[in-house]
Amino acid sequence: MEFDTILNILVGIAIGIGMVVVYAWYQFQILKRQIDRMIEQAVTEKSSIKLDIEVDKGVYFCYNSESKQFVCQGTTALEIRQVLQNRFPNKTAYLVGGDPSIVAKFKAELETNENSSRI
């Protein structure tokens, strides 16, 4: 064989190997992103409480939105925040349901007092 033919074969092999490496790296990145999302979702689900909120006679009642179990009650948003922090020190609570006007009022009260819409 001539030198040019051998060189062309080696270049073709190198390009093929390079394409396989790039494809494997791309697939690895996709898999890594999926695993990262799954881990983040699992951590978030275990470290947060999703709440529904109701008001009766000026008292806020908070329920777990998934299990519908009573979580806490209070007359102000700050009182609810304090009760949640005392009862669940390593968790964060988020309002996800309830009457939209009540949720808006509750979040506005939090923002006024704490400049935050997160419980």
pLDDT at position 90 is 80
Residue 29 lies in a domain: no
What total of structural domains would you count in the chain? 1
* Per-residue model confidence as pLDDT tens digits over 54-84: 888 888 899 988 888 898 888 888 888 888 8
Residue 35 lies in a domain: no
Residue 31 lies in a domain: no
Residue 99 lies in a domain: yes
* Per-residue model confidence as pLDDT tens digits over 84-95: 888 888 888 878
* 48 confidence band (pLDDT: 50, 70, 90): confident
Matching residue, tokens 């609570």: 93
Residue 28 lies in a domain: no
Nearby residues of 42 by Cβ (< 8 Å), 6 or more positions away: none
pTM over 0.75, yes/no: no
Domain span including residue 99: 49-114
